[in-house]
Amino acid sequence: MPIKPREMTALEVKHLGMGTFNIGGVKGLYIRKTHSQSLFIFRYTDKFGRHDFSLGNYPTMSVAQAREAARAALALVMQGESPILKRQQEKQLIKPIPKKLTFRNVAEEWIADRLASNYWAKNSRGEKTTRAILEKHVFPTLGNLDIESISAEQIRECLAPIWQSIPATAKKAKTYIRKIFQWAIALHKRKSTVNPADWEGSLGVLMEPFQNNLKPTQNHAACAVSEIPRLFVEISRNDSMSAYACLFAILTCARSQAVRLAKWDEIDFKKKIWLIPQEHDKVKSPNRDRTIFLSSRALSLLRNIEKFSDSPFIFPSRQGGCLSDNALTMFLRGLHDERKALDGIGWIDPVKTKKLGKPCVITLHGTARATFRTWAKDDETGNNRKFDQEAVELCLLHSKNDAYNGAYDRAPLTKERQKIMQAWGEYCWSKVSTVENKK
């Protein structure tokens, strides 16, 4: 009678050297140790010969688990079945059914790929904006369609409803769709190499009729130049972060996003400049000059704003994060309502109101940028001759408009920009009698 092998303990198995060992506990249970792998095997013999049936890797599979798996395999052998054949049959049964790749599936993978590669590292709202446009304007039409079957005609059906009403959003949607198809084709997620969203192909022809009668771009409502000093008086009466942010935005002619996300470490009080980070700017070009020269009024405003140790933002919300765009909009709307209750008109853009035949309440973007641009070119005050108009454009962070996009003209016009911003600050503050120290 053969001697039954001794049942090794888990500690004894751990300290075994290289080789194949019968560890006992179940007939035919072995462990095979090599430099690269340790594997539990169940060794059995049937009419076809001897077989080594792998149970699992050690130590991922414990000794106790290996003995349990070996008992199950032994039971099959005793019933005249093959553990190896049974495993093959089970794999066939659970073989995954190929998933239909919908446009939404591929779009989600495309977004995940961009996130993994830090595509939006310098654009904090990039992913959110992309998802919002896809969810609202693209997925309802294309989301559940097979990526392989989508045609230019179906993309036209998706874009047509918004092409004339919200052209800027429609063009972004078109760009996202085209890039998603490019990505799908490059990774062989779409067998056809034809991009149905290619504007140079069928889609461009199909969308041509929609190019006519596009909704004209509406300019942001802006405060009249003559009313800016009085607007500053009314804003400065408010002791709130929204009020300070509005004042600073107008004094610096900056976009709302850059102001709302502004942090104290972006301000250099000694050099009197504000360096806007690339990720907070509308234009993401890495070589772009994003220097804002700060007037004495802008610096005074900053010095009178309380710094909070728990927030890096200059204009934090009550929760410590940055202010929302809606917070600034609602502040100006409230200012308009207060004034309208007194004069029946409120803070409106007189030119746009007359043109459209309805009241157009001023916006921060229009007032901070369009009003400044109009003031800087005002011929009644002589500003058109007083200021270099190219420097005025640089104050707005507008790129130089020439055939080479300013590649050969790199003059920063520092002194002129400082002069312009100082004059603008003094004009804005001309009717504010005192500035309370908020510290």
- Amino acid 381: pLDDT: 81
- Amino acid 141: pLDDT: 93
Secondary structure (3-state) at 301: helix
Instruction: Report strand pairing: 38-46 vs 49-57.
Output: antiparallel
- Amino acid 150: pLDDT: 94
- Amino acid 324: pLDDT: 87
CA-to-CA distance for 206 and 155, rounded, in angstroms? 10
**Domain 103-211 in this protein, CATH class:** mainly alpha
Parts of the chain belonging to CATH 3.30.160.390? 10-93
- Amino acid 382: pLDDT: 87
CB-CB contact of 159 with 207 (8 Å): yes
Question: Which pLDDT tens digit goes with each residue over 386-398?
Answer: 999 999 999 999 8
CATH match of 225-428 with 1.10.443: yes
- Amino acid 410: pLDDT: 57
Q: What is 236-266 written as a DSSP string?
A: HT--SHHHHHHHHHHHHT--HHHHHT-BGGG
- Amino acid 398: pLDDT: 86
- Amino acid 404: pLDDT: 41
Q: Is 349 exposed, middle or buried (0-12, 13-18, 19+ CB in 10 A)?
A: buried
The ranges of the chain with pLDDT < 50 are 1, 402-404, 407-409, 434-439
10-93 CATH, one of 3.30.160.390, 2.40.160.40, 2.60.120.10, 3.40.50.150: 3.30.160.390
In this structure, the number of other CB atoms found within 10 A of the CB of residue 227 comes to 17
Parts of the chain belonging to CATH 1.10.150? 103-211
Question: Which pLDDT tens digit goes with each residue over 62-78?
Answer: 999 999 999 999 998 88
